[in-house]
Every structure is written in structure tokens, then in C-alpha cells.
Amino acid sequence: MAGIIEKMRLDGKKGFVTGAARGIGKCTATAFAEAGADIAIVDLDLENAQKTAEEIADLTGQKVVSIQCDVTNEIQVNEMVESVVGQLGGLDFCHANAGICINAPAEKMTFTQWKKNLSVNLDSIFLTDTVAGRYMLSHGGGSIINTASMSAHIVNVPQPQCAYNASKAGVIQLTKSLAVEWAKRGVRVNCISPGYIGTDLTLSSPTLQPLIAQWNDMAPMGRLGKPEELESVCVYLAGDTSTFTTGSDFCIDGAFTCF
């Protein structure tokens, strides 16, 4: 009888991660491949997506492909999922992870900025989930993982980011709605809500650098999270040990939202 470690593996499964050229997406894509899955690295930045795909393939020996896609474009999302299925031979799970954050005081935020935040952070999740979901519904089921944020639960300070917070709250409610709609049809939908994560982009951003010390002072654990600390939850959600888990939001924030 297989033990829990063997049951957690993703051998034979096929999946994709959006926003996977770097940061959290790259980390979870690597973890999926390390667990035995074949993976598509989906990103608007094709050059870095290709580099990431090659790196993960060399590390794991799995089939890893790169696909360029604007996840806010319905046609491109449809073509991307078709490409994933064609290149990998199926689709068992996906991680809809692409997102942006535009910090601006609400009274100064333009409607264009608001719409861009909502488009990338929420519209793209709807497109990715429903296009992938249609395939999964007609092919025996699957698992969808969305990236929300602890910002869906709290109002971040000191940075002003009302559009980001609203978009991520929408991701959680969309996740729960799809989970209920598809619960009896074999497609599970869950999300993760990371806290402040020390990705290369975060750590190198001149805009965010002055804020990191303030965040750490406020954090119960006194530090940023690491992208690698999100991996195990995503591997669990993609696999067969989480078949009774749907509509859940996993807040991985070092207790930041507990007060």
C-alpha cells in the first residue's frame, strides 16, 4: 500500500501555471515538476518563460514547455489551453497565478489603473478557470488553483492599493462560486492567499524596499515569506490527496491576518 509521500506525487499529471516565468509561479511550477508532473510555463514574457522551462526541465527531467499568453485576452487564453493539451497530452490541473499591483491613493487612481488591476487580477482568473474548467469538465475532472492574497482579508498599510485588494477579494469569491457549481462534476477549485512574499521582484523593487522593514515590524514572524513556502499546499491541491478539498482559501501569511 502506497504511503502518504507516494500518494502526494503527481506522476503522469499535466498542468500549467500562469505568470510562471518568475516569482511564485516559477516556484510552484518547479514544485509540480519535482512531484512528477509535466508542466507548461505560461507568461507574457516568452523569453524568460523559455529560460524557466529549460531550467525546470534540466532540474527535474520532466517535460516542460513555454507558452506566451496575455491572460486578459479571451482568444489567447483559449489558444493557450489548446496548446497545453496538444503539447502535454492533457490537462489535470492548473495554477492561475498571474497578477499585478498598482499602488495609488484612491482619489488619485485613474479609472484606467483601476481597470488594469481588475483585468489582470480578476478577469484573467475567470478566463483561465473557465477555459481550463470546460476541458476538465468534459475529460473526467481536474483541479484549479488560484492565487488570491491576504489583501483580500485585510487592508494593507501603509501602501494604498484599493484596486488590488478588491480584485483579490473577488478571486476568493469567484473560487468559491466555481467550486460550488462544479463540485458534483469532478472539478475542484481552491485558492491560496499569500502574505508578503520575498520574491526577486519584491526584494529588488525600489518602490517596495522602504516598505519591507515596516511590513516585517508588523508581522508576527518578523519576516517576509519565501516563495518556496507556498509549494507544498499547491502540490497537495493539484494531486489526489485533496479530492475532498474544494472552495477553500489557504491563507499562508505567517499569522499576519490574525490581528
> Cα separations (Å) of 144 from 137, 188, 236?
12, 6, 12
Catalytic residue among 13, 66, 164, 196: 164
The CA-CA-CA angle for residues 23, 95, 118, to 5°, reads: 80
C-alpha cell at 190: 481552491
Could you confirm whether 149 is annotated as catalytic? yes
The CA R_g of the chain, rounded to the nearest whole Å, is: 18
Could you confirm whether 226 is annotated as catalytic? no
Nearest 10 degrees: Cα torsion 3, 9, 11, 12? 110
Catalytic residue among 124, 168, 193, 196: 168
| Structural contact between residues 171 and 199, judged by C-beta atoms closer than 8 angstroms | no
- Residue 187 pairs in a beta bridge with 142
Which residues are the active-site residues? 149, 164, 168
